[in-house]
Amino acid sequence: MLDTYAERWALVTGASSGIGREFAHRLAGLGMHLVLTARREDEMRKLADELDTRHGTRCEIIPLDLSIPSNPEKLVDEIHKRDISIELLVNNAGFAQVGTFADTDQEQIFQLVQLNIAALTELSYRLAGPMIEQKHGGIINVASVAGFQPVAYMSAYAASKAYVLHFSEALWAEFKDYGITVLALCPGPTETDFFNVAGVPGWLKGQAAHTSEEVVKIALRSLEKKKHYVVVGWKNYILSLLCRLAPRKMVVNESRKYFRPRSKPKKKRKEKNTEQDSASAEGSES
């Protein structure tokens, strides 16, 4: 199945780092041409040069912040202006924010919802039409193992990934008669800057984590098998099942152990010109 994507175009959001960057490498290796979008233009240009050298891949770079509500439409319009038809959409862009409700930066939560949910939904709707007409194509939406349960101190993020999971599974059922596969990719902890950006630097230390290479390899294998969702790693898969079977109160109470923010140290009276570490995430590609 993946062979049929050769010489066709894929759109990868959040392409400048982590899982998105690895998707770009893997898809280029399959002979696909790429539209790359993220906020960091310099990183994408380096990536495009690398892909051209290794695979002779054509890359179109469109730097945009998809947490801005008007930008998903701008992205699609620009793709159409360049006379590109997207055969594979990889909705990877997203970020998390970890912290107590009282300390949450509300504007960043609104950006999280816009990026993780609204932008993903809009791109899916705007780009699926031609796939339906051609009866060929695919969509990979990056969800998370967190989408199977509520997570204290990451409430908006976990809820956003639950949306991505359910939205993707529903589209899979609708689109399969058109030859289009929609996959919800549900990784667990992955070796990227995700947790550093989310406000819990060093959280991965001592944790079992997958690499971006492992995550993307499993995603593409699952797309080829026309799966509707995949959880990366058997331990994460078992956890996702347990979350469905256990009482919901128990599940959410257990989640408090993992991301409860540490107490902030008290300031000394004579201390001057100190800076507090931010416990919130800047918009980032996961």
Active site residues: 157
Going by the DSSP 8-state scheme, the letter that residue 31 receives in this structure is T
3-class SS at 202?
A: coil
Q: Hey, which residues does 199 pair with through a beta bridge?
A: none
State the Cα angle at 126 between 138 and 97, rounded to 5°.
80
Going by the DSSP 8-state scheme, the letter that residue 67 receives in this structure is T
**Structural tokens at position 168:** 């993707």
Distance CA 229, CA 10 (A): 20
**Structural tokens at position 39:** 């906020």
Distance CA 21, CA 92 (A): 10
**Structural tokens at position 114:** 């816009």
Kindly report the number of other CB atoms within 10 A of residue 136's CB atom.
18
**Structural tokens at position 35:** 């539209």
User: Which residue from 14, 17, 284, 30 is spatially nearest to 138, judged by alpha carbons?
Assistant: 30
Going by the DSSP 8-state scheme, the letter that residue 226 receives in this structure is T
Q: Strands 180-186 and 229-231: what pairing?
A: parallel
Which sign, positive or negative, has the C-alpha torsion 157, 214, 127, 171?
Answer: negative
Distance CA 53, CA 271 (A): 53
